[in-house]
């Protein structure tokens, strides 16, 4: 793996979203395990310990996969590229270099990305060939965490709010506005709970979208342009993103799973069928 050295956000919007992500993840970890869970289980009882271990496992995977996304250099920088045009290669005028198929220039990162899918504001970097696996696992674990938390948060807030009154309903509908008038722990807890619920819906939709791309062997640009020439079949498509040990990548980003492509040479549907 080639590591990125310039990881700081390059735009204000990237910086704001990245700071929010880095802030909310540890805050939610603390909130769920040290505020919500103790209301249901005694500290360090068997059930509390179970949820503590599960929550910590999820937190570690969110944090480590996030770090792997940010640190993995999936650009053409440092790659050996030919000086003569190859089939399906194109010239990038900004990078002043020939770039391989499925590579596109990112105006924010200011470099061409190998098998570029999109620029992610949450990580302030592009998602491409070498970090797509980590991005998918990051989104997966954020979605799991939000679903896990929302179930307990709903029960937790039910015991702390009287939802029969108009004021209580107003607090639920406009939690951020109500923080100005009711800066209490309960209102902060409600705000966090609703934020997690919204993030859960967003990441669930995002996960479904990107899993569909993986199964079809495509990326966002190719999907929008109806390009399907790199669709090698569901299993090979999954392996091309998650690696040869695709069934183990959920355990940790440190689990080795070699990718079949270097991000430069790509097999097409017709060439695989011919074999």
- Is residue 52 within 8 A of residue 61, CB to CB? The reply is no
Query: Cα–Cα distance between 187 and 182 in angstroms, integer?
Result: 7
Catalytic residue flag (residue 120): yes
Query: Cα–Cα distance between 162 and 158 in angstroms, integer?
Result: 8
Look at residues 153, 150, 187, 152 and name the one whose alpha carbon lies nearest to residue 172: 187
Q: Which of 106, 109, 112, 120 is catalytic?
A: 120
Task: Answer left, alpha or beta for residue 243, where phi above 0 means left and psi between -120 and 50 means alpha.
Answer: left
Q: Which residues contact 135 (CB under 8 A, 6 or more apart)?
A: 65, 69, 120, 123, 127, 210
User: Per DSSP, what are the bridge partners of residue 92?
Assistant: 97
Angle 238-239-245 from CA coordinates, rounded to 5°:
120
Which positions are catalytic?
120
């Amino acid at each position: 793996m080639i590591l990125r050295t310039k990881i700081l956000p390059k735009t204000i919007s990237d910086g704001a979203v990245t700071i929010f992500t880095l802030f909310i993840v540890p805050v939610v970890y603390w909130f769920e395990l040290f505020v919500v869970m103790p209301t249901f289980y005694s500290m360090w009882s068997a059930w509390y310990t179970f949820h503590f271990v599960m929550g910590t496992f999820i937190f570690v995977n969110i944090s480590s996969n996030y770090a792997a996304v940010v640190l993995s250099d999936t650009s053409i920088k440092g790659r050996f590229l030919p000086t003569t045009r190859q089939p399906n290669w194109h010239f990038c005028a900004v990078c002043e270099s020939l770039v391989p198929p499925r590579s596109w220039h990112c105006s924010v990162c200011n470099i061409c990305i190998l098998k570029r899918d999109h620029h992610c504001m949450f990580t302030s970097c592009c998602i491409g060939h070498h970090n797509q696996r980590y991005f998918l696992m990051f989104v997966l674990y954020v979605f799991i965490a939000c679903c896990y938390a929302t179930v307990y948060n709903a029960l937790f807030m039910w015991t702390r709010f009287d939802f029969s009154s108009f004021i209580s309903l107003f607090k639920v509908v406009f939690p951020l506005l109500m923080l100005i008038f009711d800066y209490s722990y309960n209102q902060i807890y409600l705000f966090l709970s609703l934020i997690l619920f919204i993030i859960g819906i967003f990441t669930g939709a995002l996960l479904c979208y990107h899993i569909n791309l993986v199964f079809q062997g495509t990326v966002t640009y190719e999907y929008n342009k109806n390009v399907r020439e790199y669709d090698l079949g569901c299993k090979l498509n999954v392996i091309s993103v998650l690696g040869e040990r695709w069934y183990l990548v959920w355990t940790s980003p440190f689990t080795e799973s070699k990718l079949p492509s270097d991000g430069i040479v790509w097999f097409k549907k017709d060439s695989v069928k011919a074999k």
